[in-house]
């Protein structure tokens, strides 16, 4: 009897931990799909504390995720996929995340990444950020009731372009020719162009529009703007330019053209002025949504959220280098002034 009890105990000691391990729920995995590079989105931890860089959208996402009790490496894993500015890589990267059987996919920086994920899966929950016109684009049925497997945060940049134009014309009142640089002309870009042409017509100034779809075309666009005597420039809200912000800001400085951007990261890099939704708001919210989905919520029950906050950031050092005096009216409205 003693021997039988010993054998039974030995079997239990061996089998039960294996059964418990088999029954233990594996750590959930989140897929991160971005058309940009890790460096552009501040995904590299810095310093002894291992924190993300200040203003990092990846850090903001982690903040939101932690508010729901999830911390990377402790109770959730994140698979990052970066297209490095090559949008044609997004479908394959999305397919890779689906094959990895991630629990949720976060799509970053607009419609192209969201479309790649949507095409790759109709079952894995998808949380998108900064998608333009999500209803018209076919991502959700409505903002309040998304249905399907997608939800997230929309930020239609086009209505803000006329506002950026107004701010720039106030900042550079003597400019007779304004420029607009876009990556390509599509339905949303045509709307943007129409809005700015109307704004330019109301001001009695010319608007020169140039396309730049790669690095060399960005260089060529600034050469053309100089030849066209463009006195102020609006840069399209597009992740393509965000990925290449250092190049764009450097060219604006070289050709001494005042430019306005949609993200403060351009101003942090030395750009003159930005006006738009703080991207950290989107990503912090996306982190919260992902945490809620991991806890059992369905995308269909999480309404698509629209921006409620906008920030104006001005770089006084850049203004001085350009020989500009920032009007008190703009300084009074600025959420932050970099000196």
pLDDT at 257: 96
Report DSSP letters for 261-296, one per residue.
ESSHHHHHTT-SEEEE--HHHHHHHHHHHHHHHHTT
Q: Domain-by-domain residue ranges, the chain? A: 29-155+279-301, 160-276+311-338
Residue 131 clears pLDDT 90, i.e. is over it? no
**What's the CATH architecture for 160-276+311-338?**
3-Layer(aba) Sandwich (3.40)
Give the list of residues 6+ apart from residue 195 with CB closer than 8 angstroms, or none.
158, 159, 161, 162
pLDDT tens across 12-48, in order?
444 444 444 444 558 999 999 998 777 766 566 544 4
Sign of CA dihedral 128, 130, 131, 135: positive
pLDDT tens across 224-267, in order?
999 999 999 999 888 788 878 899 999 999 999 999 998 888 99
Residue closest to 330 by CA, chosen among 195, 196, 173: 173
Report the relative pairing of strands 311-315 and 273-276 from DSSP bridges: antiparallel
pLDDT at 84: 84
Using pLDDT thresholds of 50, 70 and 90, give the confidence band for residue 11: very low
Among 100-109, 128-137, 160-169, 291-300, the range scoring the smallest mean pLDDT is 128-137
pLDDT at 308: 80
Rounded-to-integer distance, Cα 57 and Cα 63, Å: 10
Percent of residues, the chain, with pLDDT higher than 90: 57
Higher pLDDT residue, 286 or 339?
286
Using pLDDT thresholds of 50, 70 and 90, give the confidence band for residue 158: low
Q: 284 with 153: CB under 8 angstroms? A: no
pLDDT at 303: 94
Stretch 130-145: mean pLDDT, rounded? 86
Domains 29-155+279-301 and 160-276+311-338 share a fold: yes
Q: How many residues does the chain have?
A: 339
pLDDT at 330: 93
Question: Which parts of 213-261 are beta strand (E)?
Answer: 232-235, 259-261
- CA–centroid distance for 121 within its chain: 21
Count the neighbouring beta carbons within 10 Å of the beta carbon of residue 69.
12
CATH 3.40.50.2300 for domain 29-155+279-301: yes
Query: What is the DSSP-derived secondary structure letter of residue 28?
Result: P
Query: What stretch of H or E contains 154?
Result: strand 150-154
Higher pLDDT residue, 30 or 55?
30
Using pLDDT thresholds of 50, 70 and 90, give the confidence band for residue 339: confident
Q: 33 with 94: CB under 8 angstroms? A: yes
Q: Which of 2-6, 181-185, 332-336 has the highest mean pLDDT?
A: 332-336
pLDDT at 55: 62
Q: 234 with 168: CB under 8 angstroms? A: yes
pLDDT tens across 86-119, in order?
888 999 999 999 999 999 999 987 788 999 999 9
Mean pLDDT for the chain? 85
């Amino acid at each position: 009897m003693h021997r039988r009890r010993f054998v039974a105990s030995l079997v239990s000691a061996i089998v039960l931990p294996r059964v418990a391990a088999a029954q233990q729920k594996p750590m959930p995995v989140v897929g991160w799909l971005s058309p940009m590079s890790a460096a552009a989105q501040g995904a590299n931890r810095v310093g002894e504390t291992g924190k993300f860089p200040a203003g990092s959208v990846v850090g903001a996402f982690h903040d939101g995720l932690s508010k729901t009790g999830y911390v990377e490496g402790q109770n959730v894993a994140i698979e990052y996929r970066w297209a490095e500015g090559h949008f044609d890589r997004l479908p394959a990267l999305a397919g890779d995340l689906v094959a990895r059987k991630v629990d949720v996919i976060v799509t970053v920086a607009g419609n192209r990444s969201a479309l790649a994920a949507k095409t790759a899966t109709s079952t894995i929950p998808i949380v998108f950020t900064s998608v333009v016109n999500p209803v018209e684009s076919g991502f959700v049925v409505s903002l309040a009731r998304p249905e399907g497997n997608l939800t997230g945060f929309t930020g239609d940049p086009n209505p803000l372009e006329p506002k950026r134009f107004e701010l720039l014309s106030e900042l550079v009142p003597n400019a007779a020719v304004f420029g607009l640089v876009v990556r390509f002309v599509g339905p949303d870009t045509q709307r943007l162009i129409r809005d700015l042409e109307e704004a330019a017509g109301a001001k009695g100034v010319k608007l020169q529009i140039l396309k730049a779809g790669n690095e060399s075309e960005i260089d060529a666009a600034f050469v053309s703007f100089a030849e066209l005597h463009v006195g102020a420039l609006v840069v399209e809200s597009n992740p393509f330019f965000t990925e290449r912000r250092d190049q764009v800001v450097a060219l604006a400085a070289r050709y001494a053209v005042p430019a306005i951007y949609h993200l403060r990261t351009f101003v942090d890099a030395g750009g003159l002025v930005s006006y738009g939704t703080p991207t950290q708001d989107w990503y912090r919210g996306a982190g919260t949504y992902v945490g809620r989905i991991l806890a059992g919520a369905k995308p269909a029950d999480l309404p698509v959220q629209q921006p409620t906050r906008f920030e104006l950031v001005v770089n006084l050092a850049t203004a001085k280098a350009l020989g500009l005096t920032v009007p008190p009216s703009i300084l009074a409205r600025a959420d932050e002034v970099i000196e």
